[in-house]
Chain A
């Protein structure tokens, strides 16, 4: 996957059969199953829908490990790794980045953390 965390947004696709925007994925459109699609860039700004902190993460991850379900502009939802040391509250604005095969998020304002 070659999506980038470039400042102008995230790589996404617009379904050719319905109005859905979705992030790169191996399968068809998650809503209608359509296989035709057009590349788009979408804003990396998002809002936290829910977030939690895992006290016992899976093997290979350090505790505490934080994940969040966020919604990008345009309604695309994505699960992200939360990269700062306090889990965000629902409704908080965040910025999503894609690197090393995974989506990560940090506060919309503030310093960029070491990833």
Chain B
């Protein structure tokens, strides 16, 4: 695609005292600082939970005013927990079409001001009504997916704990992450049950925060090389295979085909580890590991089928935190910063030339894959 990411910005994720608009504005300003006085003609905002809990709706108009983007066009995008990725895709398509020159994309969520049971209910509103009716929640359905996965591929428990250990280790280097301290495997395995087989430290935390990027027409170190997205039935029971996410597989196929690159070329990936077992499933769905082999990546020896791949340098959702409307864009912002050599404390050596971000909307009902490449792309 004829567009590239030229700047990334974040707020710190976690429990924040600022409101929704303040968080979104701060991330937007941080990204705009990276481009000087170049004009923005499009503002796209990704957010999952409506702002009514904060008494704020029509978020994009309020942000345009705060950021001085009055002449720009704009819209808000909702794709549940992939809203940030969906906002990015819509902005990239709009810029690449030639209609807009430069877009500011912001993903934001404010969650910690609500009681956990209320956040859980609001998050569950994206699930199929027939499954909401029996009290299904995101962690509940994720637990069923994990149990089915472990039933089909026994012995992955240690690798699942290791997902969190590595996430927290990476997050400890990220000044914007919710969690700044590493955890041991024992701590993960002894944390309290949330929904067996998931324990507390297998689950991304409720979080506040915002991320932003600037997308500009043209090519550069973080060119948008390929994007893909696909739906699956919202009801878990309607899916023929509950040990994978078919929407990720299709989104990855689309993105790789558009980018004209192979999986072997991808050097860094930010994947949607809202629940630790999903990291294994995602590696398999993205084609970096065969079905049932995702655990090999997290083996203590580090030797696996995808050893060349650097995973979630930001700390992922487990370590960086998961403000649902921001996470999908935070992943893309991190990959873009990595490719530009501008990732600060989380910067990988190289810098890498190809990176991938994968975001899950709902419980796999609408998934997105984004591939960025240095000067690359079809």
Contact = CB atoms under 8 A, between A and B. Distances in A.
Interface string B335-365: 0000000000000000000000000000000
Interface of A: 23, 25, 30, 49-61, 65, 67-69, 77-81, 87, 90, 101-104
Given A69-B236, A77-B237, A78-B237, A54 B140 contact: yes
Nearest to A31: B240
B195 A55 contact: yes
A41 to B, nearest CB: 19
Contacts of B192: 55
Contacts of B242: 49-50, 69
Interface size class of B (residues with CB under 8 A): 35 or more
B196 interface: yes
Interface string B166-192: 000000000000000000000000001
Describe A's contact surface by its main secondary structure: strand
B71 interface: no
A2 B120 CA distance: 29
A79 B117 contact: no
B225 to A, nearest CB: 32
B237 A59 contact: no
Nearest to B135: A61
Contacts of A54: 135, 137, 139-140, 194-195
11 contacts: A52-B140, A52-B143, A56-B116, A58-B124, A65-B140, A67-B134, A68-B144, A78-B237, A79-B134, A79-B236, A102-B130
B238 A30 contact: yes
Contacts of A51: 144, 147
B196 A52 contact: yes
A69 B149 CA distance: 13
B117 A69 contact: no
A104 B134 contact: yes
The 3 closest A-B pairs by CB, nearest first: A58-B121, A52-B143, A77-B237
